[in-house]
Amino acid sequence: MRNVLKISLVVLSALSLASCSRSTSGKSTLTGLPFNNAKYGNYIRGNETAGQEIPLGMVAIEGGSFTMGQVQDDVMFDWNTTPKKMHIRSFYMDETEVTNSEYFLYVQNTKDVFPPSEEKYKHIYNSVLPDTLVWRKSLGNTDILSENYLRHPAYSDYPVVGVSWLQANQYCKWRTNAVNLKKLIDKGYIKNIFENDSIRNFFDTDVFLADSDNLFDGDTTVYKRGIRTGGSAKGGRDSFQGRKITQADGVLSQKYRLPTEAEWEFAAKANIENREYNNIRGRKKYAWDSKYSRETSKRYKGDQMANFKQGKGNYSGLSGWSSDGSDIPIKVKSYPPNAFGLYDMSGNVAEWVSDVYRPIIDNEANDFNYFRGNIFTKKMIDKDGKVVIVNSNSSAEVEYDTLPNGIITPKELPGSIKYIPITKDDATLRRNFSVSDNTDIGDGDLNSSRFYEDEQDQFGSKPSMYNSPRNPTKEIDPETGREILVNDDQKRTTLISNRTRVYKGGAWSDREYWLDPAQRRYLPEYMATNFIGFRCVTDKVGPMSSSKNKKARNSAR
């Protein structure tokens, strides 16, 4: 009888709480004003559980503190991986590198949205194509890879390579828009524009939120319905219902991006498997919890745990006894995942991360979600107070930029919002930042000091910290009259610049030393190789950990 009374009391309490929750979730608990109600101002409060599902193809990485930096001896003597303590916020990360088939989807969609047959778009499609010639060798028979690795179905699930940092970054932006477009179609907010040949299926999340009438060639009939509101008048059957979606509704996904170096290393090391209470037992040499690169289990004993170069002229082992299974990048998920559920964080291909390279990571300056490369911008607003859309006039020419290696790429995609650097007025009396471009902050040169005289945030006329090659300049050939690129012919002492990006992880062509997640190398952001790929991350909003983990901790107290 006593147990029955206890159960009844618990049930009544739960019902009471649920009733209370239902009665207050739609209005302000401090003022009583209802949210999302047209009769009371239509003030917004989104569903706090919206957008919290794990994104497709990703795993949840619960943040925390870890020791960033190397475990092994510094045999390269570059002193750029000295250990330091860092804290990382929770995020979601692709469980594998982006594959050929996934990147090729991006290529096909770009060709569909910006057909190269149109003169003004002719360089956009070419700018997203991977460099398949990275497979060529002066003394090697590898043309079959140049011709087949990207498009042949046999390599569909292999990691894409030949992609520069700039291209990987653009893929992340496209993926954000593709995911959000699919969400809006699935939830019935807009029509399936892929079924309508008369509308160019370009979609930009920022434009959708800022000025959605600029999308879909101005055809507002594409929008089927918005967020339902209480007390709103009902229109006709085909009229737009509710109000337009905002960021506050939590309907749209967070932006996809490249991981920071600290995030990538934290995810690769996956110290959760060698955690004991609130301490870490030892430090991991690889993405798996072992000091050896070979499998120790009885069934697979002797097999390599990753795809890497085992010695001079030895990329996979003996025929009939292939200990890693591949002499080039291999199909993703060919090896066991690490403790976070991430594949190939050691081996297969190295991966781009978002950071600008510097020899030192300064956790004295910042030990919380460290990242070097912030350029703070804002939306450009016209004289009418509206955001400026790139090439909103259909007859306007697309602005292109020529990279140092001669590749022509658009400065901004037509139809996207134009962003400009913040000004000194925007940063006045701030304690956390003072300029727009924080790439070289703390370098020790005049550009990164507080003693400057120019009106702009950039100091191109003053000497920089690193004597790296300058970008080629455009000049007119006096003999032909044609515009040519002239390379920098001055003596330079380093390749480190504000356009040099970090890549992490060992690759199929690397020796075992580089499998250590702490190792870091760099390459100019416009260059591509046959051993560097990438994967995306997106930020986790709300609590650090899932409710399941919270319950486990609470029950243990």
* pLDDT of res. 394: 67
Q: Residues near 476 by Cβ (< 8 Å), separated by ≥ 6?
A: 482, 483, 484
Q: Which residue has the higher pLDDT, 464 or 486?
A: 486
Q: For 383-467, list the strands marked E by DSSP.
A: 400-402, 408-410, 419-421
Question: Which of 61-70, 72-81, 184-193, 532-541 has the highest average model confidence (pLDDT)?
Answer: 532-541
Q: Residue 396 above 50 pLDDT? A: yes
Mean pLDDT for the stretch of residues 525-543: 96
pLDDT category, 457, cuts 50, 70, 90?
A: very low
Distance (Å, whole) CA 534 – CA 545: 25
Question: Which of 241-255, 260-274, 488-502 has the highest average model confidence (pLDDT)?
Answer: 260-274
Q: What is the dihedral of CA 433, 438, 440, 444, to 10 degrees?
A: -10
Mean pLDDT over each residue of the chain, to the nearest integer? 86
Mean pLDDT for the stretch of residues 309-332: 89
* pLDDT of res. 455: 47
Kindly state the percentage of the chain with pLDDT values over 70.
87
Distance (Å, whole) CA 534 – CA 523: 14
Mean pLDDT for the stretch of residues 200-207: 91
* pLDDT of res. 8: 57
Length reported for the chain: 557
* pLDDT of res. 22: 40
φ, ψ for residue 516 (rounded to 5)? -60, 120
Distance (Å, whole) CA 294 – CA 323: 9
Predicted confidence (pLDDT) per residue in 103-144, tens digit:
999 999 999 999 999 988 989 999 999 999 999 999 999 999
Q: Of the given ranges (128-137, 228-237, 313-322, 335-344), which has the lowest mean pLDDT?
A: 228-237
Per 3-state DSSP, what percentage of the chain is helix, strand, and coil (rounded to 5)?
25, 15, 60
Cite the residue boundaries of each domain of the chain with CATH code 3.90.1580.10.
50-162+252-372+505-557
CATH of domain 50-162+252-372+505-557: 3.90.1580.10
* pLDDT of res. 276: 81
Distance (Å, whole) CA 363 – CA 353: 18
pLDDT category, 463, cuts 50, 70, 90?
A: low
Look at strands 408-410 and 473-476 and give their pairing: unpaired
Q: Residue 21 above 50 pLDDT? A: no
Q: Which residue has the higher pLDDT, 76 or 43?
A: 43
**Closest to 170 measured CA to CA, from 238, 237, 124, 220:** 124
Q: Residue 468 above 90 pLDDT? A: no
Q: Residue 533 above 70 pLDDT? A: yes
Q: Residues near 551 by Cβ (< 8 Å), separated by ≥ 6?
A: none
Q: Residues near 521 by Cβ (< 8 Å), separated by ≥ 6?
A: 350, 502, 503, 504, 514
Mean pLDDT for the stretch of residues 169-196: 94
168: three-class secondary structure by DSSP: helix
* pLDDT of res. 452: 53
pLDDT category, 317, cuts 50, 70, 90?
A: confident
* pLDDT of res. 12: 53
Q: Which amino acid is at 36?
A: N
Pairs from 457-462 (Cβ < 8 Å, separation ≥ 24): 457/421, 457/422, 457/423, 457/424
Mean pLDDT for the stretch of residues 487-516: 92
Mean pLDDT for the stretch of residues 204-220: 90
Q: Of the given ranges (52-56, 489-493, 548-552), which has the lowest mean pLDDT?
A: 548-552
* pLDDT of res. 1: 56
φ, ψ for residue 108 (rounded to 5)? -65, -40
Predicted confidence (pLDDT) per residue in 49-83, tens digit:
666 789 999 999 999 999 999 877 777 777 788 89
**Closest to 163 measured CA to CA, from 557, 540, 534, 545:** 534
* pLDDT of res. 555: 44
pLDDT category, 290, cuts 50, 70, 90?
A: confident
* pLDDT of res. 19: 42
Look at strands 350-356 and 532-533 and give their pairing: parallel
**Closest to 339 measured CA to CA, from 417, 383, 275, 391:** 275
Buried residues in 294-325 as b, exposed as e (16+ CB within 10 A)? ebeeeeeeebbbbbbbbeeeebbbeeeeebbe
Q: Residues near 167 by Cβ (< 8 Å), separated by ≥ 6?
A: 127, 128, 130, 528
CB contact at 8 A, 538 and 58: yes
**Closest to 215 measured CA to CA, from 415, 417, 382:** 415
Q: Which residue has the higher pLDDT, 274 or 352?
A: 352
Distance (Å, whole) CA 341 – CA 366: 28
- Measured at the CA of 497, the angle between CA 494 and CA 500, to 5 degrees, comes to 105
CB contact at 8 A, 377 and 419: yes
371: three-class secondary structure by DSSP: coil
CB contact at 8 A, 286 and 516: yes
Mean pLDDT for the stretch of residues 505-533: 95
φ, ψ for residue 93 (rounded to 5)? -135, 145
pLDDT category, 218, cuts 50, 70, 90?
A: confident
Report CA torsion sign: 194, 197, 199, 200: positive
Distance (Å, whole) CA 147 – CA 69: 39
* pLDDT of res. 61: 96
* pLDDT of res. 17: 45
Mean pLDDT for the stretch of residues 543-552: 63
Q: Residue 458 above 50 pLDDT? A: no
Predicted confidence (pLDDT) per residue in 151-180, tens digit:
999 999 999 999 999 999 999 999 999 999
pLDDT category, 6, cuts 50, 70, 90?
A: low
Q: Residues near 188 by Cβ (< 8 Å), separated by ≥ 6?
A: 224, 225
Q: Residue 530 above 70 pLDDT? A: yes
Q: Which residue has the tokens 């004295």?
A: 364
Q: Of the given ranges (137-141, 190-194, 370-374, 441-445), which has the lowest mean pLDDT?
A: 441-445
pLDDT category, 43, cuts 50, 70, 90?
A: confident
Residue by residue, what is the 3-state secondary structure of 213-266? HHCHHHCHHHECECECCECCCCCCCCCCECECCCHHHCCCCCCEECCCHHHHHH
**Closest to 93 measured CA to CA, from 62, 66, 52:** 62
Q: Which amino acid is at 46?
A: G
Report CA torsion sign: 335, 336, 339, 342: positive
Predicted confidence (pLDDT) per residue in 359-391, tens digit:
999 888 899 999 999 999 999 999 989 999 998
First to last CA, the chain: 29
